[in-house]
Structure 1
Amino acid sequence: MDTQRLTLAVLTLLPLVMACGSDSGDTGSAPAASGMSGVHWRVDSVTVDGTTLQAPAGAGAGLRIGADGTAVGDYGCNAFGAKAAFSGDRVELTHARQTLMACAPRLMAFERAMSRTLTDRSLTVRAEDGRLTLTARDGDRIRLTEEKDASLYGTKWTITSLRADGTATNLPQRATGSAYLTFDRKTGEVTGRLGCNHVTARATVRDGRITLGPASTTRMMCDASLMDTEKSLLRLFSGTATYRLDHRTLTLTSENGESAEAVAGP
């Protein structure tokens, strides 16, 4: 899942969703709400007119509905926000807003099927044992699976973006997937790769902060874009950074305000 893209896009959409949320409606007391709200749901498949489309690998299609009746998620290419209204065993997502990026044809086909099925329709909610099925009256349906929050420890955190001077930038294409960190509770260390070189350092986690010791790295030379990424990440070491975990996204922010955002890998 391209969580960095989803996070940035949804931040843009949230004001629109919150504005919609001021409308009246029952959003929290219905049985459907208790089984569906507050959970990160990963979309597994969409069935339209009797044809089932499996979510493309890496599409990251998903949905989460908050207790305030706002919904955010990803169609597979574009992020979206909407208002969720519950009634009995049904839910309806309305006032949908989405980003307008173009992706590969397979992703766009899945996105069209999912958005057509999910929004502006009354859907029956069936949630059981970490599985969720949303079914329209004509039989179109979406199947989803609960996605657990990632742990700080033992997770491969792949760096997706860097922020400095208030501006966030995605990693260069050559660096995509090449920078990651893994925290080990037992050894008290962080290991990984900074874009070019592998790294090891002490990591002390306490009260929402991570104190990183001096970085011990290999000594390879790589493409300039990889080395630039590495230099930025090295500034997180030999100091203390705050960390924030949000489902499967980790944000590390140094004392000088620079930060790195990462997503949980397989």
Structure 2
Amino acid sequence: MTLAVLTVLPLAAACGTEQAHGGSVGAERSVTGIHWSVESVTVDGTTHQAPAGANVTIEDGKAAGNYGCNHFNAKVAFEDGALRLSDTTTTEMACEERPMAFERTLARTLAGSALKTDVTDHRLTLTTDDGDTVRLTEEPDAPLYGTTWDITSPSPTGKARLTFDKRTGKVTGSLGCNKVTATATVSAGHITLGAPATTRMVCDTSLMKTEKSLLGFFDGTVKYAIDHRSLTLTSENGKTAKATAER
């Protein structure tokens, strides 16, 4: 699978401007700042189920997400209780036929016209002028506690992961080679990590390098931030570790 540079797709240009009151503002407030997972697209009466990972988030006049294979970005304008995407860019990865077929259907549906918005019980329905629909579900941020956080940086190895337990007040997991446990006190966007207790295995150089980097976050206080399914830890000296929630 290869990733090419961003290319511009010929989506419909936005027409009209966001209103200062009325349906446009209501539509914007009800859909922005939320991670929406795409469930399905219905075109000409046929429903196509979305592959895992298809999503969109709308914020600050922009949309970003994944069609099912490729990531995309676009401008968003709100008008009369509807939204319109324009100036879309997308990556150019090649996936299996099913997600690619869904991707083409979703991209055409989102680009075809203004999309009327309807939000009910944490579900969003976008409806085109022709009556085709895109159905989405609100997906909340992963919780800090109880989530297995797979470390992606520094030096991702696929083996470093951490889990925070509210009941015990501890963090446990693996640093890439050795298992680790420490106290973890969470307060106001910060986590105070105690001195780490680890096993004593010796692994190859890359794993030990990752482990050494991660040990630097213990026995001190780190800032933490969760953005949907991503966790960022920032140490007192400005170093960062990033992780994603295991699915």
Report the TM-score range of the alignment, normalised by the length of the smaller protein: 0.7 to 0.9
Contact kept? 1:195, 1:230, Cα under 8 Å = yes
Q: What amino acid is aligned across from residue 214 of structure 1 in structure 2? A: A
Q: Deviations over 1:119-154 (max 9, x none)?
A: 352112121001111122233321100111222222
Contact kept? 2:17, 2:79, Cα under 8 Å = no
Alignment partners' CA distance in 2, 1:54 and 1:232: 42
Match of 2:58 in 1: 65
Alignment partners' CA distance in 1, 2:75 and 2:44: 25
Match of 2:219 in 1: 238
Alignment partners' CA distance in 2, 1:70 and 1:129: 24
Q: Cα gap change, 1:28/1:161 in structure 2, threshold over 3 Å: closer, same or farther?
A: farther
TM-score (norm 1): 0.76
Q: Which has the higher helix share?
A: 1
Contact kept? 1:28, 1:69, Cα under 8 Å = no
Aligned alpha-carbon RMSD (Å): 2.9
Alignment partners' CA distance in 1, 2:211 and 2:51: 31
1:46 maps to 2:41 = yes
Q: What amino acid is aligned across from residue 205 of structure 1 in structure 2? A: V
Match of 1:87 in 2: 79
1:180 maps to 2:175 = no
Alignment partners' CA distance in 2, 1:214 and 1:102: 45
Q: How many residues align?
A: 235
Alignment partners' CA distance in 1, 2:87 and 2:191: 40
1:204 deviates by: 2.1
TM-score (norm 2): 0.81
Give runs of aligned pairs for residues 1-266 of structure 1, distance below 5 A: 25-26=17-18, 29=21, 30=24, 31-57=26-52, 60-66=53-59, 68-162=60-154, 171=156, 175-176=157-158, 178-222=159-203, 224-266=205-247
Match of 2:10 in 1: none
Q: Which moved more, 1:106-115 or 1:146-155?
A: 106-115
- Partner-residue secondary structure (3-state), 1:232: helix
Q: Cα gap change, 1:51/1:24 in structure 2, threshold over 3 Å: closer, same or farther?
A: closer
Q: What amino acid is aligned across from residue 34 of structure 1 in structure 2? A: R
Alignment partners' CA distance in 1, 2:240 and 2:121: 37
Q: What amino acid is aligned across from residue 33 of structure 1 in structure 2? A: E
- Partner-residue secondary structure (3-state), 1:233: helix
Alignment partners' CA distance in 1, 2:204 and 2:19: 52
Counting aligned pairs with the same residue, the percent is: 56
Alignment partners' CA distance in 2, 1:52 and 1:227: 49
Unpaired runs of at least 5, structure 2: 7-12
Contact kept? 2:112, 2:128, Cα under 8 Å = no
Q: Bigger radius of gyration, 1 or 2?
A: 2
Q: Deviations over 1:79-113 (max 9, x none)?
A: 22222222223211111122333334433333222
